[in-house]
C-alpha cells in the first residue's frame, strides 16, 4: 500500500492508502475527493488535471497535457496509477463543478421577471394560482379543572369548526410541541394546514405573535446543474434562488454513466447521497441562511428533472431505463415525502414530482412544456430544452409529440476543453474580426473579470464567428493560420481566445478542433431530432410559428448565430424566444398552483413519446447535420 | 388505350469528367438516367474498366494474377503488360508500399515509380495512395506534380487530407481529385462541399463513395451508391453529381473467398475461378448501383466486365 495525499488550495489535505496500480481518479472517488471527470475517466475530456507535488505517479502522456505542463507536474488523474507514495495538488478548477454555489440576487428584476411573466400567462390560460396550504388563526378555551379535555382534542375540535372538515390529522411532529405552543400562546395560535375536500392535515403550529412564512421549494435537477427557489406558498413570491453543480457529476457527466455507476454495489445509495446530502441539502441550507428562514418551515417541494435524475433522487433502480426496451419504474408518483429520502425540510412535506413520459423525456420537459404554453396555442410551436440531453416537444393545443436526443454536456460547457458553466469568468459572447482574427468577448462577472473558460452561448458565438470568418471549414477544421491559431504536435488546431497572460487560468483559453467536433455533434443531435420528429409527423419546418428555447445555456444565446451554425431551423428570428430554465419555472408553477400541477399531469398523459433510436433515418439525419450549417445547404436558405 | 412507356430520363446530369490526354483520353459520367437505363435515354459514356498494379510489382499479386505478368521485372514492364490487356480503359497504380505501418517506402522511391509508369503507358492514369491519410497527402501531392499535364486521377482525398491533396491535385496541377468517403451519402457530399469550398471545380472531382467485397456489408455500398445517384439526378444535387469510381480489386483480393487456397478449402472449388467470380460479381453489382468506373485486377475479370458493359450500353 502507498500513501496518497490530496492537497487543496483552500482546505485541508486528505490522506488515504491505495494499492499499487490503482487509478488516481478511482482513489479520489473512493475518498470523496472531488475531481471533475465528465468523461468518466476515458482520458478524452482532459478535465481531471492534478499537479504532482512530490513522490511518483505512473502516468501516461496525453494530448491534453503539453510537454511543458508535464514537466511542471501536471497529470491527468484518470491515466495516472499509484506506484509509490505521492502528494498531488487538486486545483480549484478541477473541483469547479461544485462551482461555489451561487445564490442569486433577487433584487435584480430579471431574476423575478420570468416568474411574474409566467404567473400572468398561466392566469390568462384560465388556471387559478392557488394551492391548498393555508395559515389559520385559532383560539381555544383555556383548560380548567372543569374543562379537562386533552390538548389535541381541544385543538382538533376548534380546527373542525374553523375548517368545516371532520377529519383532522395531527402528525407526531406537531403533537410533540403542541402543549408548549398552546400554553406559550395562551391557547391562541396560528396553524399551517393543508385542506382538501376530505380532511385537514396540520403541518405546524406557532404562537400568535410569530411571523409565519409558509415556505415551498421548487427544484430543477439537471444532469449537470441544480437550481432551486424558495417561495412563499401563500402569495407565490420568490424568497430565494440559488444554483450549484450536481454533486453526482463525479460519477459521470451523462445519464448513462450515472446509471452504470448506480448499478454497481452501493451505487444507488452513493448517487442518492450525492444529490441529496451533497447538493440539495447544502443548497437549501444556504438559501435559508440568506433569508433567515428555518428550513423546517418549508412544507412542500416540487422536483422537475429528467427520468434518470428522478429515479436516482429516489434511490430507485434506474438500470432498466438504459437497456432495451427502456422502461422507467414510474411516470408519476404521489406518495413521496421529504422524510422518505432525507430532504432537510419539514419531514411531512409532500414532494411533487413532475411526471416523466418516457425513459429519456422526464419531468423537466413536462414542466417545461407547460411553461412554454404551447399546449394553449392553436398554431404549431417547437419547444427545445438544451441540456445534457436535448429534449424537443412539437405541437399545439390539439396534440404534442416529444423526443430526446443525447447532445452531451457541451451546451453547459462539458466535454469542451475550456468549457464551463455561465458563471464568473465565462466567455458568454464573442465576435471575431475577419481580417485580423482578433476576438472581442463578453465575460460574465464584474468589470475587469478575466476569462477563465467558455460557456454554451459563448461556444455558439465562437464557432459561428470562426465559420463566418473562414477560419474553420464546415467540418470544424482550421483552414487559416495566424497568431491565434495553434497546432499541437498531433496537428490538431485550436483558436486561442485569450492567451495565458490575459486569462485567469493556468493555460490559454482556447477552443480546439475536438471541442468544435463535440459541439457539432451536439448541435447535429438537436437539429436532426427536430427534422426527424417533424418528418415523422409529416410536417416541415415552415409550419413552425414559435420556437421556445429553454435550458441553462443562458439568456445570452444568440439565436442568429445558433441558426447560422445549423443548430436551430432557419425560421425568422422573431419566432425564437428564450424562456430560461423552464424546468425550474415549471416546478414553481406546479408547486404554487394545484391546477397547474394537474395541467402538467394532463400534458404528460397527452404527450406522445417518440423513441428516435427506433427510427432508422435518424442516424442519416444526424450525419447530415454534423456539418456547418448542414450537408443540405438548402435547409438554410437565409445564409 | 395503348401503353405509353414513361421515360425515366432526368433533367439533371452526372458531370462528365475526362481522364488522361491524347488519343487514349476517356470520359466518364454524363448520363441523365439510372445505371444502364439505355431504354430511357442514351448513356453518354459507358462505364470504364481499369487495371490495378502496385509498387510491389509482382510481389503482392495473387498467385493466379502473377502468371499473366510473367517476365515483367520492372514496374514499367508491368504497366505495359497491364495496358495491353483486353478491355482495359485506364491504369491504376496503387502506392501501397508507402504505408508507414507496412513497407514504408520513401516518397522519392514511389514517385520515381510513378514517373516510370507514366512514361511506359499512354493510358489515362489513376494514382491510388497507401490508405494512410498523412502519407497519402504527401505522396499524392507529389504525384500530382510529376504528372503535370497528364490529367490523372489522384485517389484519394479524404476528410483528413483533402486540403493538401485537393490543393495540389485540383488547384495547382489541374488533375482530377478522387474524393473518398466511407459508405455514407452525407459524408460523401460533405467532402465534395469541402473540396468545392477549397476551390476545386466540381467537374474535376470523381468520388469513391467506399466499397466492400460482395457479401461484406455490401448492401450499405449498394444503398449508398443508389441514393447518391438518386439525389444527383432526381434532386439535381450538384454536390453529388460527380461520377463514381470504385476500386474493386483492392477489396476483393483480400477476402477469404478470393484468396483461400484449394488445399484449405477443397469444397469451395478452383481458387482462381473463385477470385474471378468475386471480382466480377462485385464489379457488376457496383456498376449496376451507379459506379461509372471500376478498378480490377484479374485479366479475366477485366475482359468479362468490359464485355458486359459493351453488351449493355
Q: Hey, are the CB atoms on A627 and B185 less than 8 Å from each other? A: no
Please name which of A418, A407, A424 lies closest in space to residue A454, comparing C-alpha atoms: A418
Look at residue A359 and tell me if it is in a domain.
no
Range from A41-50, A467-476, A568-577, B241-250 carrying the lowest mean pLDDT: A41-50
Q: Do residue A10 and residue A54 come from a single domain?
A: yes
Return the pLDDT at B309.
97
Chain-centroid distance of CA B81 in Å reads: 19
What are the pLDDT digits (tens) for A593-635?
999 999 999 999 999 999 888 898 899 999 999 999 999 988 9
Q: Do residue A221 and residue A337 come from a single domain?
A: yes
Query: Domain containing A28 — which CATH number?
Result: 3.10.20.30
For A40-75, letters b (16+ CB in 10 Å) and e give: bbebbbbbbbbbbeebebebeeeebbeeeeeeebbb
Q: Cis (ω within 30 of 0) for the bond into A599?
A: no
Look at residue A111 and tell me if it is in a domain.
no
- What's the mean pLDDT in B101-124? 96
Cite the beta strand spans of A369-447 per DSSP E: 381-386, 389-395, 400-406, 426-432, 439-443
Residue A218 grid coordinates: 421548487
Please name which of A123, A576, A112 lies closest in space to residue A376, comparing C-alpha atoms: A123
Residue B304 grid coordinates: 468479362
DSSP string, B221-272: HHHHHHHHHHHHHHS--TTS-S-BEEE-HHHHTTSHHHH--TTT-GGG--HH
User: What is the tally of structural domains in chain A?
Assistant: 5
* Cβ contacts of B236 on chain A, cutoff 8 Å: none
Q: Do residue A235 and residue A322 come from a single domain?
A: yes
Q: Do residue A189 and residue A218 come from a single domain?
A: no
pLDDT at A375 exceeding the cut of 50: yes
Domain positions in chain B: 18-312
Report how far residue A93's alpha carbon sits from residue A493's, in angstroms, rounded to the nearest whole number: 24
Nearest residue in B to A630, CA atom? B190
Look at residue A233 and tell me if it is in a domain.
yes
What are the pLDDT digits (tens) for A190-228?
999 999 999 999 999 999 999 999 999 999 999 888 999
What are the pLDDT digits (tens) for A468-523?
999 999 999 999 999 999 998 888 999 999 998 888 766 788 999 999 999 999 99
Nearest residue in B to A623, CA atom? B186
- Grid cell 478535465 is found at A47
What are the pLDDT digits (tens) for A417-450?
888 777 778 898 999 999 999 999 999 888 888 8
Look at residue A287 and tell me if it is in a domain.
yes
Q: What percent of chain A has pLDDT over 90?
A: 64
* Cβ contacts of B163 on chain A, cutoff 8 Å: 479
* Cβ contacts of A624 on chain B, cutoff 8 Å: 186
A629–chain B nearest CA distance, Å = 11
Nearest residue in B to A629, CA atom? B190
pLDDT at A41 exceeding the cut of 70: no
Residues of A with CB under 8 A from a CB of B: 473-475, 479, 620, 623-624, 626-627, 631, 633
Q: Long-range pairs for A629-636 at CB < 8 Å and ≥24 separation?
A: A629/A474, A629/A563, A629/A564, A629/A565, A629/A566, A629/A570, A630/A527, A630/A566, A631/B186, A631/B189, A631/B190, A631/B193, A633/B193, A635/A541, A635/A566, A635/A569, A635/A570, A636/A563, A636/A566, A636/A570
Return the pLDDT at A38.
58
Query: Domain containing A186 — which CATH number?
Result: 3.10.20.880
Q: Do residue A497 and residue A551 come from a single domain?
A: no
Of B163, B186, B197, the CB nearest to A631: B186
pLDDT band at B261 (very low <50, low <70, confident <90, very high): very high
Which of B161, B190, B198 to substitute to test the interface with A, most A CBs within 10 Å? B190
Q: Hey, are the CB atoms on B190 and A627 less than 8 Å from each other? A: yes
Return the pLDDT at A403.
93
- What's the mean pLDDT in B159-172? 94
Average pLDDT, chain B: 95
Look at residue A114 and tell me if it is in a domain.
no
pLDDT band at A347 (very low <50, low <70, confident <90, very high): very high
Go through chain A and tell me how many residues it has.
639
DSSP state of B171: I
Contact A141, A147 (CB under 8 A): yes
pLDDT band at A43 (very low <50, low <70, confident <90, very high): low
Of B163, B184, B190, the CB nearest to A474: B190
Cite the beta strand spans of A91-152 per DSSP E: 102-103, 133-139
**Helix ranges (DSSP H) in A141-254:** 151-163, 172-184
Look at residue A549 and tell me if it is in a domain.
yes
Return the pLDDT at A39.
55
Which of A476, A631, A632, A633 to substitute to test the interface with B, most B CBs within 10 Å? A631
Q: How many beta-carbon pairs under 8 angstroms link A with B?
A: 25
For B141-157, letters b (16+ CB in 10 Å) and e give: bbbbeebeebbbbbbbb
Q: Do residue A309 and residue A349 come from a single domain?
A: yes
Q: Which among A176, A207, A238 is the end of a domain?
A: A207
Tell me how far apart the terminal alpha carbons of chain A are, to the nearest angstrom: 62
Return the pLDDT at A250.
73
Return the pLDDT at A420.
77
Q: Is A262 helix (H, G, I), strand (E, B) or coil?
A: helix
Report how far residue A361's alpha carbon sits from residue A369's, in angstroms, rounded to the nearest whole number: 11
Q: Do residue A224 and residue A337 come from a single domain?
A: yes
Residue B193 vs residue A488, higher pLDDT: B193
For A315-331, letters b (16+ CB in 10 Å) and e give: bbebebbbeeeeebbeb
- What's the mean pLDDT in A301-325? 94
Q: Do residue A442 and residue A557 come from a single domain?
A: no
Query: Domain containing A582 — which CATH number?
Result: 3.30.420.40
Look at residue A366 and tell me if it is in a domain.
no
Return the pLDDT at A94.
41
Q: Residue A574, class by beta-carbon neighbours within 10 Å (0-12 exposed, 13-18 middle, 19+ buried)?
A: exposed
Q: Do residue A140 and residue A248 come from a single domain?
A: no
Look at residue A315 and tell me if it is in a domain.
yes
* Cβ contacts of B187 on chain A, cutoff 8 Å: 623
Range of the domain at A261: 214-353
Quote ipTM for the complex: 0.85
Q: Hey, are the CB atoms on A631 and B184 less than 8 Å from each other? A: no
Q: Do residue A249 and residue A323 come from a single domain?
A: yes
Please name which of B20, B14, B288 lies closest in space to residue B176, comparing C-alpha atoms: B20
Return the pLDDT at A345.
97
| CATH code for the domain defined by B18-312 | 3.20.20.20
pLDDT at B312 exceeding the cut of 60: yes
pLDDT at A100 exceeding the cut of 60: no
pLDDT at A251 exceeding the cut of 90: no
Q: Do residue A386 and residue A531 come from a single domain?
A: yes
Of B184, B185, B194, the CB nearest to A475: B194
Q: Do residue A527 and residue A492 come from a single domain?
A: no
pTM: 0.83
Amino acid at each position: 500500500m502507498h500513501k496518497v495525499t490530496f492537497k487543496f488550495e483552500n482546505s485541508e489535505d486528505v490522506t488515504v492508502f491505495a494499492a499499487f496500480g490503482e487509478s488516481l481518479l478511482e482513489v479520489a472517488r473512493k475518498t470523496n475527493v472531488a475531481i471533475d471527470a465528465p468523461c468518466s475517466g476515458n482520458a478524452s475530456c482532459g478535465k481531471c488535471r492534478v499537479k504532482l507535488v512530490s513522490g511518483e505517479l505512473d502516468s501516461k502522456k496525453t494530448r491534453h497535457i503539453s510537454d511543458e505542463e508535464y514537466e511542471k507536474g501536471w497529470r491527468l488523474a484518470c491515466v495516472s496509477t499509484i506506484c509509490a507514495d505521492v502528494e498531488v495538488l487538486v486545483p480549484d478548477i478541477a473541483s469547479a463543478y461544485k462551482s461555489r454555489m451561487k445564490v442569486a440576487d433577487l433584487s435584480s428584476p430579471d431574476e423575478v421577471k420570468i416568474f411574474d411573466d409566467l404567473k400572468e400567462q398561466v392566469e390568462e390560460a384560465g388556471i387559478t394560482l392557488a394551492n391548498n396550504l393555508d395559515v389559520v388563526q385559532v383560539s381555544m378555551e383555556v383548560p380548567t379543572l372543569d374543562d379537562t379535555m386533552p390538548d389535541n382534542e381541544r385543538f382538533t375540535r376548534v380546527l373542525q369548526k374553523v375548517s368545516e372538515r371532520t377529519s383532522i390529522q395531527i402528525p407526531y411532529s406537531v403533537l410533540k410541541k403542541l402543549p408548549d405552543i398552546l400554553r406559550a400562546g395562551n391557547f391562541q395560535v396560528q396553524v399551517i394546514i393543508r385542506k382538501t375536500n376530505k380532511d385537514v392535515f396540520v403541518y405546524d403550529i406557532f404562537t400568535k405573535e410569530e411571523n409565519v412564512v409558509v415556505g415551498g421549494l421548487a427544484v430543477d435537477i439537471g444532469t449537470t446543474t441544480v437550481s432551486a427557489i424558495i417561495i412563499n406558498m401563500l402569495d407565490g413570491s420568490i424568497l430565494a434562488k440559488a444554483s450549484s453543480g450536481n454533486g453526482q457529476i463525479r460519477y459521470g457527466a451523462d445519464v448513462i454513466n450515472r446509471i452504470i455507476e448506480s448499478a454497481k454495489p452501493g451505487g444507488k445509495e452513493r448517487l442518492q447521497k450525492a444529490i441529496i446530502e451533497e447538493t440539495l441539502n447544502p443548497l437549501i441550507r444556504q438559501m435559508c441562511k440568506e433569508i433567515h428562514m428555518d428550513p423546517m418551515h418549508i412544507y412542500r417541494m416540487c422536483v422537475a428533472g429528467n427520468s434518470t435524475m428522478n429515479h436516482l433522487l429516489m434511490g430507485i433502480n434506474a438500470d432498466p431505463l438504459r437497456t432495451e426496451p427502456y422502461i422507467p419504474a414510474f411516470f408519476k408518483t404521489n406518495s413521496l415525502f421529504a422524510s422518505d429520502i432525507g430532504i432537510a425540510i419539514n419531514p411531512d412535506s409532500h414532494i411533487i414530482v413532475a411526471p416523466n413520459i418516457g425513459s429519456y423525456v422526464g419531468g423537466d420537459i413536462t414542466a417545461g412544456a407547460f411553461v412554454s404554453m404551447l399546449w394553449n396555442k392553436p398554431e404549431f410551436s417547437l419547444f427545445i430544452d438544451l441540456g445534457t440531453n436535448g429534449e424537443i416537444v412539437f405541437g399545439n393545443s390539439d396534440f404534442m409529440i416529444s423526443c430526446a436526443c443525447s447532445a452531451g454536456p457541451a451546451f453547459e460547457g462539458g466535454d469542451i476543453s475550456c468549457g464551463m458553466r455561465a458563471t464568473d469568468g465565462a466567455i458568454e459572447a464573442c465576435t471575431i474580426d475577419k481580417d485580423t482574427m482578433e476576438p472581442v468577448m463578453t465575460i460574465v462577472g464584474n468589470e475587469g473579470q478575466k476569462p477563465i473558460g467558455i460557456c454554451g452561448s459563448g461556444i455558439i458565438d465562437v464557432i459561428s464567428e470562426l465559420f463566418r470568418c473562414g477560419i474553420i471549414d464546415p467540418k470544424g477544421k482550421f483552414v487559416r493560420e495566424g497568431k491565434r491559431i495553434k497546432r499541437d504536435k498531433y496537428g490538431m488546431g485550436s483558436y486561442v481566445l485569450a492567451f495565458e497572460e490575459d486569462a485567469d487560468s493556468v493555460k490559454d483559453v482556447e477552443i480546439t478542433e475536438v471541442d468544435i467536433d463535440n459541439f457539432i455533434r451536439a448541435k447535429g443531435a438537436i437539429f436532426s431530432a427536430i427534422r426527424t420528429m417533424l418528418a415523422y409527423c409529416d410536417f416541415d419546418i415552415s409550419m413552425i410559428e414559435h420556437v421556445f428555447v429553454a435550458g441553462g445555456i443562458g439568456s445570452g444565446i444568440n439565436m442568429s448565430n445558433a441558426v447560422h451554425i445549423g443548430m436551430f431551423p432557419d425560421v425568422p428570428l422573431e419566432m425564437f424566444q428564450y424562456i430560461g430554465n423552464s424546468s425550474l419555472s415549471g416546478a414553481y408553477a406546479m408547486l404554487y398552483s394545484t391546477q397547474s400541477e394537474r395541467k402538467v399531469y394532463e400534458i404528460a398523459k397527452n404527450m406522445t413519446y417518440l423513441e428516435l433510436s427506433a427510427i432508422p433515418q435518424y442516424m442519416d439525419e444526424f450525419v447530415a447535420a454534423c456539418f456547418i450549417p448542414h450537408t443540405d445547404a438548402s435547409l438554410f436558405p437565409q445564409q | 388505350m395503348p401503353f405509353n412507356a414513361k421515360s425515366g430520363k432526368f433533367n439533371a446530369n452526372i458531370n462528365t469528367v475526362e481522364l488522361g490526354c491524347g488519343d487514349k483520353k476517356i470520359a466518364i459520367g454524363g448520363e441523365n438516367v439510372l445505371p444502364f437505363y439505355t431504354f430511357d435515354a442514351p448513356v453518354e459514356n459507358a462505364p470504364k474498366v481499369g487495371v490495378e498494379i502496385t509498387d510491389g510489382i509482382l510481389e503482392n499479386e495473387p498467385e493466379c494474377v502473377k502468371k499473366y505478368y510473367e517476365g515483367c521485372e520492372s514496374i514499367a514492364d508491368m504497366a505495359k503488360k497491364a495496358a495491353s490487356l483486353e478491355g482495359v480503359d485506364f491504369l491504376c497504380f496503387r502506392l501501397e508500399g508507402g504505408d508507414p505501418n507496412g513497407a514504408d517506402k520513401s516518397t522519392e522511391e514511389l514517385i520515381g515509380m510513378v514517373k516510370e509508369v507514366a512514361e511506359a503507358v499512354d493510358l489515362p492514369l489513376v494514382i491510388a495512395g497507401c490508405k494512410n491519410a498523412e502519407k497519402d497527402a504527401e505522396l499524392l501531392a507529389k504525384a500530382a506534380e510529376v504528372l503535370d499535364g497528364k490529367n490523372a486521377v489522384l485517389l484519394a482525398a479524404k476528410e483528413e487530407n483533402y486540403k493538401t491533396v485537393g490543393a495540389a491535385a485540383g488547384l495547382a496541377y489541374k488533375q482530377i481529385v478522387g474524393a473518398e468517403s466511407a459508405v455514407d451519402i452525407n459524408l460523401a457530399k460533405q467532402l465534395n462541399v469541402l473540396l468545392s469550398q477549397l476551390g476545386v471545380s466540381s467537374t474535376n472531382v470523381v468520388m469513391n463513395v467506399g466499397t466492400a467485397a460482395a457479401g461484406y456489408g455490401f448492401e450499405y455500398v449498394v444503398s449508398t451508391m443508389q441514393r447518391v445517384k438518386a439525389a444527383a439526378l432526381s434532386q439535381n444535387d450538384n454536390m453529388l453529381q460527380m461520377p463514381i469510381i470504385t476500386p474493386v480489386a483492392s477489396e476483393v483480393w483480400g477476402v477469404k473467398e478470393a484468396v483461400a487456397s484449394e488445399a484449405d478449402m477443397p469444397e469451395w472449388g478452383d481458387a482462381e475461378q473463385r477470385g474471378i467470380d468475386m471480382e466480377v460479381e462485385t464489379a457488376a453489382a457496383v456498376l449496376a448501383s451507379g459506379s461509372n468506373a471500376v478498378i480490377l485486377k484479374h485479366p479475366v475479370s477485366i475482359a468479362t466486365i468490359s464485355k458486359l458493359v459493351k453488351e449493355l450500353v
